[in-house]
Structure 1
Amino acid sequence: MIVLNVLLLVLCSIYPLVDGVGFRGFTFQGLEEPEPLKKDADKDVIEGWIIQPLDHFNYRDNRSWSMRYRENSVFLKKNGPILIMIGGEWEISNGFLQGGLMYEIGSKYGALMYYTEHRYYGKSKPTKDISTENLQYLNVDQALADLAYFIETKKKEKNLEKSTVIVFGGSYAGNMAAWARLKYPHLIQKAHFLEYYEVVTKSLGKYSEKCVEDVKIAFDLVEELLTAQDGPDKLKLYFNLCNVPNVKSPSDLGYLMNTLAEIFAATVQYDNVENGQTKIAALCNNMTAAHLGSPLQRLAHVVSKQDKCLDVNYNNFVKKYRNISWDSPAVQDMSELD
């Protein structure tokens, strides 16, 4: 059963996800970026490229590729710190080098600021296609090694060997920030990270403890229906699913539960004020609204789309990624951001 941190446990429950495939794939558009803090902020940011080894751990393999990054050095002072926003499963842009927490720290302490792009995302394409053979180089160890190589190279290039390095990240890149600090402590002095779904639960609870309670009840009811005789059919109706959930498929069940949990994770991650209230407030107001029915019906209200059924078939999700071309539908959403 789901207990205290309901959203955290949903993703680690009895419905395991298939290893190796991220639900966002190549289509995630990235973290919501802060507004620039000054006019003509784009002129402060330059785009650069650094040659990286394709395989950092095979010294017989001399293949290389060009990794993209963006740089803002307008505040740099002698021996100032190096601040790096780590790119995750998205295409980088200028936002975090023009506003937000890292920018404010950089302006205060005379820092050199970077935003690095993760291999296989945006314009950082290490291989000719995304075949299974080539995707063996898409893993966190290689990405962390890219970051370490980037830091070593830039410290020498900028004559900043004594500078403190602080890494920033959100979502998957938040994990990378913590892992990079652990794996390369000689290069990275500081990183901050908290378990994200615990943060989601606390964020909802700050607005309304009743919200957390009703979310827990709703997810418990989803689990109960998945084991009831006619429960999956009811879930299809409640959530406007394209098909009845396949309770014999751990992958389908994992995909379903992830889809439900992502509503809350994304709301907390991208919270801002819309129509006079925060997104968290709007979500919790729906989740605690008695006139919308039971907590399960309230969850269905915030998840389901009236004009389009919700596809939670894992095979359909994977099918999109079987096209190995960089021009495939799986990567088109990223290229359209250019």
Structure 2
Amino acid sequence: MSENSPRSLQAVVLAGGLSRRLGGVPKAGLVVDGQTLLARTVDAAAGVVRTGTAPSPGETTAEAGETAQAVVVVVGPGDRIPQWLAGAKHAGGVATVQEDPPFAGPAAGLAAGIGALAGESGHVLVLACDMPGAGDLARRLVAEWAACAPGEGIMAVAGGKRQPLAAIYPLPELRAAVAGARVAHRLENASVFSLIASVKMIECAVPTGLAADIDTWDDARAQGIAVAPPTAEGHQLENHDELLQAWTQKLLEAFEIADIEVDIHAVLNLAGVAAHSIVRPAAPLTTFVAGMAAGLAAGSGQVDEATAMKAALGLAKKLSAAEAPAPGSTGAAAAEAPAAE
């Protein structure tokens, strides 16, 4: 049997994000084609991993660091996961764990997830819960992974962008990377790129749409989530853009600059790039500095407000993107690199 066979593969599904750009509405519970995103992703993972021993009833939750005999581990809030998995065909073969501390970012989530896997050898499929195309994506990764050398993994690349949460990692090397990051206190709010900097990965080009995820309400609509569910969460999701517009206008009026137009999507895009390329706390810091720079430039009469803001956001975005580690990088810059979620 080949080392890179489905029987040597387990899976971790990350479902523990705060969904800030969705107003706090959990991505895992969004419904596409009658199934939650988490249920779709778990079924996608279960469809390509080996047949293993599922946890018995009452033993589906593991503490971070414990070993559970599970083929698919979901990382996220344990009190919500059963609800999100209600429509999954393979819900019975899932163990759950939450990163410590909760909502500490994707690197911490991945560390908790592999801590709940059995064995020291083989590979682990890692998927974020917010990709509607996870089924086709997982099958493509597994097909290409068959050609990987021992100790090597494979990562999806869509539109030139590496997708560390759509990848298959060699489990021993990933465990070693987690152990090193834990000793160095580099797990909480750290990026997956920084965590895997020492893991040898090859790239698997996939169509951009196949790796499309849901970060915003516009993304949700593009994936067919046109009507929010009749819940308080759904109502908040449906009105997310309106809430942001209203809040921005309220801030502008309070600071007596209501005549300035703010490109909300450009600001959020900058925040996303900074969070993905450095660490998550870099997002608010970067947008704050860019705003200060734009204000100073406009206030000095150098340019008008709109031009100053566009230039500041553009420069900050370029600088943030440049901080992302190069493929295969293991240097200091990669060690400090970026949050991906």
Q: Say yes or no: TM over 0.5.
A: no
If asked which structure has higher relative contact order (CA below 8 Å, sep 6+), I would say 1
TM-score between both structures, scaled by the size of structure 2: 0.30
TM-score between both structures, scaled by the size of structure 1: 0.30
Higher Cα Rg: structure 1 or 2? 1
